[in-house]
Structure 1
Amino acid sequence: MIKTYVLEIESHSELLSSLRAFCSQHNITDEQQTLIQAFTCLTQKTAVAGIISAIQTVLPNAKIIGTSTGSWIAGQRYSSQHTILQFCVFEHSQVKTLLIPICQDNLSELAKLIDQRLVSENTRLMLLFSSPSIQQAGFLLDELCLLNPDVVLAGGYSSQGSTSEPPLQFTEHGIADQGIVLASISSSQLYLFNKYAFGWNGIGKQLTLTSVQYNRVFTIDHQPAQDIYAKYLGAEVAACLSTAMADFPLYQIQNGVTLSRNPRIFHADGSITFDGKLLENSKVQFAFSDLPNIAKESRYLLSQLPLAHAEAAFIYSCAGRLDYLKENVQSELEIFQDHPNIAGFFSYGEFFHHKQSAHILGHTLTCLLMSESAPLSMQKPIEKWKLQTNLQQSGLYHLFRTTSNELDQVNNSLQDEINRQTKTIYDQLYFKKLTGLPNRNHLLRDLTYNQDFFPRHLAILDILSFSAINDFYGIDTGDHVLNKVAARIQNQVPVTTTPSYRLYHLTGGQYALAATNHIQETTFTDTINDVLDDFKHADIEVRQDRFSIQFCTGISSRPEKWQENATPLLTRADKALIQARKEHSSIVFYHKDLPILQEMESNQIMTKKVKRAIQNDQLWVQYQPIYHANNNTISHFECLIRLFDEESKVVPPNEFIHVAQKANLYPEITKKVLTEAVKMIKSTAHSFAVNLSAHDFTNSDTLNYIDSILADRSIAQRLIFEIVETESMGDYELVRAFQKRIALAGASLAVDDFGSGYSNYSHLAHLGAGHLKIDGSLIKECHLDPLILDIVESIVTFSKKIGVKTVAEYVCNVELAQICRRLKIDYLQGYYLSPPVSEADLLRLLSSQALRL
């Protein structure tokens, strides 16, 4: 019997202890035959090496096969963060693994090597994870099938998220980024069952691949492949293929396996390279999918899997399927909700074995089931997952197939059918399926001087807090609301002899209404006001629920002399909408003096200043001493960043930090402060505090730099990381993980500006902070307002109960200092004691203090 378990690793710094506890909990020992599949969103070899090392420490004899991925799967869950480990403990099977760092040119010899190393008489299964840079992996699969046609092959190409790092493949033997890893499972009583879900259908005329070299198609029906795309999809669609290739794959059935092939490279000679093998003289069609029904069809198909009898199961699905289905992926995986130990990953192509041959699939979800106890066979499908027949859709598909077959037979009237297919694709590109309204692509086309409808006025209407409707009432209710809102807006739009208005559905709860030159600006404004008034006086009703709909609206108009391109209308309306949101206004008209424009311009100027300061080393650090309240001696220093502009003027942090964060320049600033802090720790006997933000916790380079600093324990013990209270409480789990990370090295955590946010005492009690800085806005007012004084006193009392030292900021006079001492605050900071000082002044300050002592 196979026993399967899944461990999610959220904190890699605690991996070793987590593994030991997990293995102890599930009685996993090193004497057992164990295969561990590792699917990680990490992209750095050092981090992956840490995973391998931890596993080998706890289970030295375990076999490991792993890959990086943009997202992993565990039961119904999937995530683009952390790592999961799937443990398969076999009773009767033997496991071998093999790492091939670089794929050889001679794939026949490589297949023989793999056969010698991994395959025995009882080998039933071979798992294979390959670098996507190995374009000829299909050849290798073919060669392996020739050598061992009854050995089931499964796995896929490694994938990656937003990182530019190459995907990784690894076993217990090492790590590769341009290689292949394999695992074989051998047993005389291992039973396998595999299946895949697809959901695309062929549509239109069957075409013949007349000249092919593996996956590069030169001609289709004896015409250049790119010309066929332009002919049947239209020149406008063909021109967009380089950015929308995944939407227009070819559909083919190979050896009983239905698959799609995405165009990948468009060559100058008119040929197209696809993402998998295609057979010369074989038939293909263009592939078409009904997005809402793919997940439903998949669940019904997968409900035939003998999940209840399987002892282990692997899922290898397509990253393209995830991108295409988006939130519908969660619905598709619902079939696995009672099987959390099923695990796998989203790949760049799935390997599937059928009738003694292997295929590289795309857009699929493949599932492999195993048992050592009894054979596995297909179950009756579960009726609740059965897709309800859509008569209109079913009839449409039947019409396409029948008509195409008849036209193929008589070889005439083909163009009419292609026109209908092109319209379907056109509708997908330019219309929202939910509301049937033109979409953003349609608006952009109209704005680039569409002869039929050329807008002069544009309003963007954004439903306030529409996401809350989806969150509380569900997407289905949200969709009903969107349809009713669209109909209500349309009813308020005047009907003219020549179409002068057009309503668009841009995204979610956002619509746009455009009008042509025939409509005066005042008339257009009146129409928008009529729309808004209509929603103010009547709610939207969906079943028994009522929804009060309010909008923020941005409006822009262009002069009549604009003739060639009106795209700036959209940009300006967007900016007016941003201003409306900031002002909480129902309508804002675009004009050149909009505050948001000034803010954007100011941000651009400041961004240039920050970039220049980083490049020219015009960032510098000052140090403000923090004193012991009981004896006025210096306890430690806070590092404060300063910036010189091109005129050598000092720019305060509150003017450039938020800009640096938005412009992704903040990591350089953090690194500068950390570098200077380390320098001062080495030069003095004091501790130094550095401010961090939520941006730092999500930046791998910053975290790696911190780790490199913390490697020197003598420095780490005098390093304090200050986290703003609102950020630390809002990202509690993230900060808690960071606290544990730095605590291992001896560094400490301080909560900054406590009292400025919602002040979550419960989180604070478990955060592990050593210091708490009471927000300066409370300190500087506590001698004026008894209520604020009570608040400060309560913070101090609570901090003492949980063993956290308190720091008072903004101590600017003797009265405040006396109050803080009376409240038994531990440390004082502020201009009354000392302003921030330069490095030279800091050293003089320490020298004078030493003389006084």
Structure 2
Amino acid sequence: MQTVSWFIERIEALYDKLTTRHWDDNKQYAIQILSSQSAEKARAYAQALTQALPHAHIVGSSVSHLIQQQSILTSGSLIIINEFQHTQMTSAAVPYQYGAEKDSERLRHALNLQASSCAILSFSCQVAGQDYAIYRAFDRATTPPIAGGLAYPSELGAWVLHQTQTYPDGVVAIALHSDVLRVWTGAYSEWNPVGMPHVVTKANQNRLITLGDEPVYDHYKHYLADGADVDLLTLRSFPLYRERHGKKEVCVANEIHPDGSMSFDRSFCVGDILRFCYTHPSLTLEQLKYGITQLAFHQPQTIWIYNCASRLDFIEGTEEVAPFTELAMVNGGYCMGELYASHDEQEILHHSLTYLGLREADEVPDFKRPAAYQGSSVSPLFSLIRNAINDLNQSNHQMEYLLERQAQKLSQSFRTDSRTGLANRVALQEYLAGMNEDEHLLTLKLINFSQINEKYGYSVGDRLLKDLSQHFRVQLRKGLGRIAATQLYSIGVGEWAFVFRANEPSAQIKHPFTLFADLVEQHDFSVHGAEELDYLSVSLCGGLASRRDFPTVSGDELLLKAIEARRAGRRNNTHICNALDIQVSEEVRKEQLAWHSRVSRAILKHQIVTYAQPIFSAQSHQIYSHECLVRIIENGQVIAPGQFLPIISDTHLYSRLSRHMIESTLNYMKDKSGVFSINLSPQDLFSDKTLYVLENAISKLNDPTRLGLEVLESEQITDYDRMIEVCGHFRRLGARIIVDDFGSGYSNFDEIAKLEPEIIKLDGSLIRHIHQDQRQRKMTAQLVKLCQVLNAKTVAEFVHNQAVCYLVESMGVDYLQGFHLGEPKRLF
């Protein structure tokens, strides 16, 4: 590897230089043109070089001054030619066109970086006086260091050059590829930030008023003189350092104002982060000398220096350049910004000196040592201060790291179910936000979990959840592969969700999962439960929702659809229900949402009223009791419950409505006379809040035995033990227990017998056609006899004509209810 450099002012001089030297076609040449002349002259130099070295890679840039050995040169151009024997090169130019991110990717792609790429030389232009993030695609973990600088904007303009073409807005670069080339980089900053950061809280252009709500001059006095006054000359030796838009800046004080504000050579914005900084020539030179001592161990063959033009105002002559010449040939220029590859990222520095040292040869024929340097006492003092602050910063970074680790643990616990160890609903919702078109969501629920808990204890229940989760994982891994087992989530107590990929339509997917649920129900989980258990089985139901079936809904909406499908499956006694099979039209959904709003509005505005329908004694037709029924008043019209109760039955809105109805009705009836009843759904029976409201209202009745509680007997009751306990409690408070809608299609005779109701109401679906259907007449007669065996009185609902009235009375029914005898009327 050899280096030659020429200072050129005229094209004729370059031609003379080129003709006096032999060039080897078997070698590779990298050429830099650093110039304080016009772009036109630079292109002329490049054309001459191309004629002599047609395969050379040429890049260049406008600079303010030139560095050639120990000389600082102006008003000319420096031609730096490096001849390589074992190094290959690629080069490129990218005009700014598509934004920094895309332009950066274009540059990286054009350079065709390889595993052997060891350095990049680059020059680039600023945009509107700001640094352009052209190197953001060059990650330090995967790309070699970049050296070079930003084009200097002289009176002749700013430009960069590639081959024979110049660019006023662009970037140029040469990448060096070699297995033997060794490179070393370094950077020295004139200004050293020190101390903690301070936030600008008030400023007016160049006038800085407060830092952290304190006058800026008070900050200077506190930190520099323990509160004593500080003169402007001293202040100028400790300017303020900041980084804005990736650019490092030093702000020097110009004036101190009576109110404690100060004027600087740069403007400020509220929110700017500032630190005090300092400089000292001896410190800079000693840092540099120490760095050169370290660089001497590597013995570079050539050194390229890219210095900041602003440093010429602080460092006179060649003081900081000359030490490099003791090691190798030195060439370079003064730029608008300097490129440096730190450990973390590729940076654009300012007010800095950077270098790139190169060596291609393995042997070092003459080991060069830099001259000894005697430092001053000021430098160690600054170094001591700086390193003490670095220790404090390191301690702060360690604390930040520990806090971040703790935050990560908290975040992980937030996304993990503590019972099963599976990812929870939060993690599932995050995944569903980016769900693919060929993915499907299955939700599963253990529907007999509460019975297992109550019968065998919570420890068995908790163990069962873990065993089921592990069982699901194993089966999913067997059936769908290892990745599938990682996509199992716990989204509630005894409730799971699973996301998987499949190309089949949801209708075909449903079948294998139905078989899967059936096999799980046949599995014996007692081996991991309590020792006294002979056999422990589970009952499952599930809901399936496919992204392909609902392409426009959000992830949260898709989860709700899967849960709705699971609930529908349970109601229909099916293992797996497809959300596509139960979806309603958009018009129906809008209507349902409208009803939700109307009911909620009625509750808020106290537009819930109570109607009462009389119940008559058979034979005598005397009024025995009244059933209290809910109605809504809207715009003066009465809305019957059949229009809104089915829509809100499975929502929290139903519980709110029920509590309002219980409270208002019992409050009205508390000091009246006569027997009456109210309806309680399974949802009411299992709501502690609703039961509390009911118990409190009963305590205020003048005679609690007047009240009957009509319990809806249906398949929705999954915990009869709980229902019996609740009903027994209210019976002890004086209320009568009434079973409603008996014979409506679902009847658990054993559980009804345990409930010991005082009255059983025969459902209207049995009574309605009793005068026309002999089979229903026989069935009803048997049910009446069964109720008599249970020692319960009977009520025939839906008595709508005289024929029906006569028949049910002849069967021995005790009470009658229906429009034939009396319609519901407003109670209050």
TM-score (norm 2): 0.39
TM-score (norm 1): 0.38
Q: Which has the larger radius of gyration?
A: 2
